[in-house]
A and B are shown apart, each in its own frame.
Chain A
Amino acid sequence: MANKVYSDAASALEGLLFDGMTIVSGGFGLCGIPENSIAAIRASGVKGLTVVSNNAGVDGFGLGLLLETRQVKKMISSYVGENKEFERQYLSGELELEFCPQGTLAERMRAGGAGIPGFYTRTGVGTLVAEGKEHKEFDGETFVMERGIVGDLAIVKAWKADRFGNLVFRKTARNFNPMAATAGKVTVAEVEEIVPDGALDPDLIHTPSVFVQRVFVGTFEKRIEQRTVRKREIA
């Protein structure tokens, strides 16, 4: 069997990066983002990227790191509100942005990965996002066609993997990662742990190994965007 396990992000991404490529990324906010691959992409200096990701990170972390270095030409996202550098580059015309509703974005990745080039949805009909797109009536209701997305590369973050590339995600860090994992011509997964053969319950695997070509163990900062807590009452 071909070896899928790499020692770090730089070696896992070797030979996969080129200027002008499209990268699909998992993650929601800063939760479950492929921190290590993002850092290695920054270090590689590859540019002119189209990045498909629900969010664009924050200033100085996550995909915000690739915006700082102007490596991103275009973002396809549903929400980019936490990033001042993003807003500046977008309003000054340096950065292209395609807003895509969150559910439509998830489905576009899922469809792309499933070999479905387009689908119809009710979401966005009658709004800016439907302008210029094909519309069709089904049972008396209007739907808009959205395209599936396949990237040159998908980068995802999982909790555990085995050496075959089976992935398990943890809590809400799953988010876009399973769809992103299917939507890359090549998919690189970074994980907290690679477990021994047979240690993952086959019934509980979220992403089967066929979708993952390369896997490595990363180191994770796991930054929290909004730390909200209850205060303990002192008795």
Chain B
Amino acid sequence: MPWTRDEMAQRAARELKDGFYVNLGIGMPTLVANHAGDLDITLQSENGMLGMGPFPWESEEDADLINAGKQTVTELPRTSYFSSADSFAMIRGGHMDLSILGAMEVAENGDLANWMVPGKMVKGMGGAMDLVAGTPRIVVMMEHSDKAGNPKFIPACTLPLTGRNVVDVIITDIAVFERADRKGAPFRLVETAPGVTAEDVKARTTAAFVV
């Protein structure tokens, strides 16, 4: 039985460590914040905020206080605000501990594609290319297969890349893959959803991985 989005977020939260500074991508990765438990985590929002709080109470929204997904949020006692240049100094300069992002494709060599479908989706990369270029550990959360049923963890990306050799952990709705380093270590299947076997995962994946 595949994991739900919430269960995937729960699993992704196990990548957090006490004291981490973390950037969560737009969409499914934002759910990870709900599962931090007792860990002391500081969330960064790349538009210019460190120490992001929950959504505001109704009627307390502030147009000057949004996250990178343009959603209204709140501040905390630890919060700081800064310019976009300072924000990306944190990111590009390697000061963040972890980023959790969504993906359209991940390749077996750690390449990531998550910003563009030529001729179809023209949105842009936002801060994703900076995040993968500067953050020492990148966790990807994605459905195992796309809407047409094609695998998303594949031998080589077909879509324009966000970054080369940047993914460390892949969490899908049926499996978790991890690799020991970015110097040629293969992805290893480290967990499967309840009732899902390694053989099932192999049958639904075209990327090479070790078990």
List chain A positions with a Cβ less than 8 A from chain B. 28-32, 54, 77-82, 87, 90-91, 97, 99, 101-107, 109-110, 121-129, 159, 169-179, 206, 222-232
Contact = CB atoms under 8 A, between A and B. Distances in A.
B125 A79 contact: yes
Contacts of A177: 83
A177 B86 CA distance: 12
B193 interface: no
A171 B62 contact: yes
Contacts of B62: 171
Interface in B63-95: 63-67, 69-73, 75, 81-85, 87-88, 91-92
Contacts of A178: 83, 85
Given A107-B85, A222-B64, A226-B69, A123 B92 contact: yes
Given A54-B84, A78-B124, A172-B64, A103 B92 contact: yes
A91 B81 contact: no
B66 A172 contact: yes
Contacts of B123: 79-81
B125 A106 contact: no
Nearest to A143: B133
| Interface-centre pick from B48, B88, B92 (highest chain A CB count, 10 A) | B48
Interface stretch (B7-15, B32-40, B159-167): B159-167
A29 B70 contact: yes
B129 A173 contact: no
Contacts of B75: 171
Contacts of A79: 123-126
B47 interface: yes
Contact of B163 (A32, A109, A127): A127
A122 B134 contact: yes
B129 A129 contact: yes
Interface residues of B, number: 52
A31 B54 CA distance: 18
**Shortest 6 CB-CB distances between A and B: which pairs?**
A103-B88, A81-B123, A103-B130, A126-B164, A106-B84, A222-B63
B133 A231 contact: no
Nearest to A99: B124
B91 A81 contact: no
A183 B44 CA distance: 26
B57 A179 contact: no
Given A109-B85, A172-B65, A178-B83, 16 more contacts: A28-B66, A29-B70, A78-B127, A99-B124, A102-B84, A103-B84, A103-B88, A122-B133, A124-B133, A126-B164, A173-B64, A174-B48, A179-B83, A223-B63, A228-B72, A229-B59
A118 B162 CA distance: 22
Contacts of A99: 124-125
B133 A106 contact: no
A31 B84 contact: no
A146 to B, nearest CB: 12
16 contacts: A28-B47, A54-B84, A78-B126, A79-B125, A103-B91, A104-B129, A106-B84, A172-B47, A172-B65, A173-B64, A179-B83, A223-B63, A228-B72, A228-B73, A229-B56, A232-B58
| Interface-centre pick from A78, A107, A206 (highest chain B CB count, 10 A) | A78
A171 B65 CA distance: 6
Contacts of B48: 28, 172, 174-175
Given A129-B129, A170-B64, A225 B70 contact: yes
A12 B91 CA distance: 36
B83 A102 contact: no
B45 interface: yes
B20 interface: no
Contact of B162 (A31, A127, A171, A225): A127
B61 interface: yes
A192 B62 CA distance: 15
